[in-house]
Amino acid sequence: MNCPITYVEPVIRPPAEADALILQATIGCSHNRCAFCPTYKGKKFRVRPREELFAEIDWAAAHLQGLEKVFLGDGDALALSTDRLREILDTLRDRLPALRRISAYASPGNFASKSVDELADLRDRGLSLIYVGFESGDDEVLRRVDKGFTAAEIGDLCLRPQEAGLKMSATVILGLGGPALSAQHAQHTAALIDRVKPRFASALTLMLPQGEDDYRARTGDPRWRMLTPVETLQELRTLVAHVDGDGIIFRSNHASNYLALAGTFQKGKASMLAQIDAALANPRLLRPEFLRAL
């Protein structure tokens, strides 16, 4: 049996899913408007035809019996109907008995059409981890980047999977607001993290392969500029300093970041702040520009 797995490029996945089999349950992103995100701009969002996806699961069942991790692509596979997700999860668990983790990207809007009971049912059927882009907790930043939701709406929607017991990894992006909105972006993002209390929170640093002029045009802010590495660290410091929730595992180990941090709030907060302060005092500790990547 020839491998039927085909990908509609580009395909991305979180760093922690490097060893997962990626199955594209959807193609593209159902929102696809964020000013900083070129990933799916060339794809029109669509649900993957059932027979294509299930042929890939059949092949995996025949050839990858020891498979432990599956990541459901693309940008927000949780946009699928609850019934389709149930069918996918049940089939994966039935056909791949060694599977211990099924994860997917999700956007806050995906939770609007799913009840807490439905989300808990998906958890019970094996959905282990969802990666959700908060991006910011600041309404002005969210409006400019066209995230589609206010911070209060992101909080309300993301409390549903939290209530359902789904493990969540939330992502925020340093630099979105430029120098003018840096402090409020960091403080309000910390407040949103505190409100939702995801199991994991991670920071990326803004990179714009499509160019800064494109971002300025999309956000409608002709005076916006990229933060310098030191300004980015200061923003990271403000964010870390303002997270008050306990037990949230924080990381900034994505290749886009100038400084890789890993710690758990609150016990690891002082250490993370000390590492940031050391890097601010000695910027040679920062990842060089040529080693940064998305």
| Interacting residues with ligand SF4 between 81 and 110 (CB under 6 A) | 107
Rounded to whole angstroms, what are the CA distances from 84 to 30, 54, 72, 94, 130? 16, 11, 12, 15, 17
| Interacting residues with ligand SF4 between 116 and 145 (CB under 6 A) | 133
CB of 39 to ligand SF4, least distance (A): 5
Element (H, E) at 91: helix 82-95
CB of 207 to ligand SF4, least distance (A): 13
CB of 258 to ligand SF4, least distance (A): 21
- For residue 84, give every residue at least 6 positions away whose Cβ sits within 8 Å of its Cβ, in sequence order, or none: 25, 47, 50
Among the listed ranges 15-23, 34-42, 155-163, 183-191, the one in contact with ligand SF4 (CB under 6 A) is 34-42
- For residue 127, give every residue at least 6 positions away whose Cβ sits within 8 Å of its Cβ, in sequence order, or none: 85, 89, 102, 103, 104, 166
Among the listed ranges 26-34, 180-188, 208-216, 220-228, the one in contact with ligand SF4 (CB under 6 A) is 26-34
Q: With respect to ligand SF4, which residue has the nearer C-beta, 25 or 99?
A: 25
Q: Does 264 bind ligand SF4 (CB under 6 A)?
A: no
Paired tokens of 199: 């199991």
Cis geometry, peptide bond prior to residue 266 (ω within 30 degrees of 0): yes
Q: Is 258 in contact with 235 (CB distance < 8 Å)? A: no
Paired tokens of 66: 């020891």
Identify any residues that bridge with 263 across adjacent strands, giving them in sequence order. 250
Among 14, 24, 31, 111, binds ligand SF4 (CB under 6 A): 31
Q: Would you tell me how many other CB atoms lie within 10 Å of the CB of residue 9?
A: 8
CB of 45 to ligand SF4, least distance (A): 9
Among the listed ranges 30-38, 122-130, 162-170, 285-293, the one in contact with ligand SF4 (CB under 6 A) is 30-38
> What is the total residue count of the chain?
294
Among 20, 22, 27, 29, binds ligand SF4 (CB under 6 A): 29
Among 14, 75, 155, 263, binds ligand SF4 (CB under 6 A): 75
Residues in the interface with ligand SF4 (CB under 6 A) total: 11
Binding site for ligand SF4 (CB under 6 A): 29, 31-34, 37, 39-40, 75, 107, 133
